Amino acid sequence: MKKSFMVLFLAFLIVGLISASAFAAAQLNAGNTTLAAERISPTTDFTASFVYTAYQTGGPVARSTVIKISLTNGKFNAGSTIDICNGTTSMGSGTVLAAPNNNYVEITLISPLASGTVYTFQPDACLNAGTPLNNVIVPAGSVAGTVISMTVDNKLTPGDPNVYATAPVITVKNQFSATLLPVTSKLDFDNNMQTFKTSGGNEPPRTTNTESKAALLIVSDESINDSVALAGTTSCDRQLAAGDSLTAKITGNLQGISAVEYEATATTTYTVTATDRTNGYATLTVAGNRLSICRSTDTPKIYRALELTAANTAGIPIIAGTRTAQITIKGGGTIPAGYTRDLIPAGTPSHIIQLDATQYYIPLIKVATGEDTYIKLQSKSTIGGANGVSIQILASDGSLVTYNAGTITPGTPLTITGSQLVSAVTSAGKTVDGSKGFAAIVTINAPEGDVFAYANICNVSGCKRIPVKTVNGTIVE
DSSP secondary structure of 69-133: EEEES-EEPTT-EEEEEETTEEEEEEEPPSTTSTTEEEEE-SS-B-TT--BEEESSTTSSTTPPB
User: Where exactly does CATH 2.60.40.3490 map onto the chain?
Assistant: 2-173
Q: Which residues of 372-409 are buried (b: 16+ CB within 10 A; e: fewer)?
A: bbbbebbbebebebbbbbbbbbbbeeeeebebebeebe
Q: What is Dmax (Cα atoms) for the chain?
A: 111
pLDDT at 81: 98
Contact by Cβ (8 Å): 43, 81: no
Angle at 298 between CA 239 and CA 292, to 5 degrees: 25
For the chain, the 3-state helix, strand and coil shares in percent, each to the nearest 5, are 10, 45, 45
Q: Which residues of 163-174 are buried (b: 16+ CB within 10 A; e: fewer)?
A: bbbebbbbbbbb
Is the CATH number 2.60.120.620 carried by domain 2-173?
A: no
* Dist CA 251 CA 423 (whole Å): 37
Which helix H or strand E contains 217, and what residues bound it? Answer: strand 211-220
First to last CA, the chain: 70
Q: Does the global pTM surpass 0.85?
A: no
Q: In the beta sheet, which residues pair with residue 451?
A: 379
Positions in the chain short of pLDDT 50: 1-23
* Dist CA 158 CA 154 (whole Å): 5
SS3 94: strand
Cα→Cα distances 212→185, 315, 431, Å: 6, 20, 41
pLDDT at 192: 78
pLDDT at 474: 54
Contact by Cβ (8 Å): 236, 294: yes
Burial of 314 (0-12, 13-18, 19+ CB in 10 A): exposed
> Strand runs (DSSP E) across 223-293, as ranges?
245-251, 257-263, 267-271, 281-287
pLDDT at 471: 60
Length of the chain in terms of residues written: 477
User: Where exactly does CATH 2.60.290.11 map onto the chain?
Assistant: 358-476
* CATH, domain 358-476, list 2.60.290.11, 2.60.40.1180, 1.10.20.10, 2.60.120.10: 2.60.290.11
pLDDT at 20: 41
Q: What is the CATH number of domain 176-354?
A: 2.60.40
